Structure 1
Amino acid sequence: MHFCFVLGLGLLLIGTAAAEDEIRIVIKDHRFSPSEVRVKAHTKIKLLVSNEDQTAEEFESFSLNREKVVRAGQSITIFLPPLKPGSYDFFGDFHPDTAKGMVIAE
């Protein structure tokens, strides 16, 4: 019986460690919406980026070390490690003048 308790506690801890926040971002009219995303610091993040435009866009961020093309009408998933408190900018490489955004870890 003691073994079952320890096993259950171990599974609970594994589930907690794997938990992550999920954030949805939409690309429309060559802009990110929302353009500012607030997340919990020190928490894994799952970004779901959907492109509603008729052309591709590239999600790019030097500060997050991420770069991924989002085809027209498609979605991508970007996993971020736990972030330290701070601001992390991202932009659309194909439309950098309008497609801009920021992840703020608090």
Structure 2
Amino acid sequence: MTPIRRFLALGLVSALFCGWAAAAEPEFTIVIRNHRFEPAEVKVPSGQRIKLVVDNQDSTPEEFESHSLNREKVVPGGKKASIYVGPLKPGRYAFFGEYNEKTAQGVLVAE
């Protein structure tokens, strides 16, 4: 195999591996509607990094906040935000909306 072909083959294998690794990260969507998180309880795999997509369908901003996850993210009205967490140990991780804390409550359950 020539050096050029070897380089191209290695590049192709690397690209395929990187694409596979990125696709392996689980993604979970949490919707904000009427100042509430839906679903209010999200089951996620423990021991694995995950991507949360927070979809704010309200017209006003909301802040996704979690002391146990050590995350804060303001999500403007009508927009989405990605939040990466983990890997998490098995357990319950509360989150809330700082602007509407009485109604916007939720929990990630890592199993």
Whole-Å separation in 2 of the counterparts to 1:80 and 1:98? 23
Whole-Å separation in 1 of the counterparts to 2:20 and 2:47? 13
Amino acid at match of 1:61: S
Percent identity reads 53
Amino acid at match of 1:90: F
Aligned residue for 2:70? 65
Aligned residue for 2:79? 74
Whole-Å separation in 2 of the counterparts to 1:16 and 1:35? 30
Aligned residue for 1:101? 106
Work out the number of aligned pairs and report it: 103
TM-score, normalization: structure 1? 0.85
Unmatched runs of 5 consecutive residues or more in structure 1? none
C-alpha distance after superposition, 1:31-72 (max 9, x if no partner)? 000110001100111000011111110000000000000100
* Bigger-Rg structure (1/2): 2
TM-score, normalization: structure 2? 0.81
Aligned residue for 1:22? 27
Residue 89 of structure 2 is aligned to residue 84 of structure 1: yes
Provide the alpha-carbon RMSD of the alignment.
2.0
Partner SS, residue 78 of structure 2: coil
Amino acid at match of 1:87: R
